[in-house]
Amino acid sequence: MIRALGWVLRRDLLLAFRRRGDVANALVFFVIVVSLFPLGVGPEASQLRNMAPGVLWVAALLACMLSLARLFAPDHQDGTLEQMLLAGEPLVVLVMGKVISHWLVSGLPLVLIAPLLGLQFDLPGDALAVLCVSLLIGTPVLSLIGAVAAALTLGVRGSGVLVALLVLPLYVPVLIFGAGSVGATAAGTGAEAHLLLLGGFLALALVLAPWASAAALRIAME
C-alpha cells in the first residue's frame, strides 16, 4: 500500500514538474491577488497590517481552490483515473497520494512565499512565523476538503465555478482560525489555541476527506 502511495506521489510530482507553468500559475495568482488589496484600500500601514492575516489567508484559499482543477480532471480525461479505480490498491490510498502531491505543488509554495508577502503588509516577525505555521497546517486541510469537491464535480459542466461554490463555505472554519492565529499574534494574545484547532481540523480531514473523495470518485465514474 505504501508502494502504491509512493507511486502515485511520484507520478503526480513528475507530471507537475513537466508542466511547471501550470503550477506556477497558482503561485503567481496568490501574489497578484495579495498585491491587489493595497491597491484597493490604500497604502496606509496600520490598515494593511490589520487586514494582512485575512487578505493573505483568503488569497491562499482562492489559489488552492483554483488549483483543484488539476487534481483529478486531467487523469479523468486521459483514462488514468479509471485504471486507478480498477487497480487492486485501495482507492483511499491512491487519493491520499494525489492529495499529498497536490499540496506539495500548490500549497507548500504558498507557505514558503507568504512571509515575503506578509512583509509587504508590514507584519511583525512573530506574526510572519505564525502565518507560515498556520498556512503549513491549514493548506493541507484545504487540499483535502478540495479533493472531495473536485471528485464530486468530475466531468460536470461548469465545474470550475461549481467547485468554488461547494468548497468555499467548507473552507470558512480553516480561514477563521488560520487568519485568527496571525491576528492574535499581532494583537499580543497567543495563537496557540488557533493552531491547535487547525491541527484538529487537519486530523479530522485526514481521516474523513480521502474516504469521502474516494466515494465521490466512485460515484462520478460509475
Which residues of this chain interact with other proteins, rule CB under 8 A?
148, 152-153, 156-159, 162, 165-166, 168-170, 172-173, 176-177, 180, 201, 208, 212, 215-216, 219-220, 222
Pick from 66, 65, 60, 57: which is nearest to 176 by CA? 57
User: Are the C-beta atoms of 167 and 145 separated by less than 8 Å?
Assistant: yes
Q: Count CA atoms within 13 Å of residue 81 on its CB side.
A: 23
User: Are the C-beta atoms of 115 and 128 separated by less than 8 Å?
Assistant: yes
Helix (H, G, I), strand (E, B) or coil at 123: coil
CA angle 156, 8, 82 (to 5 degrees): 40
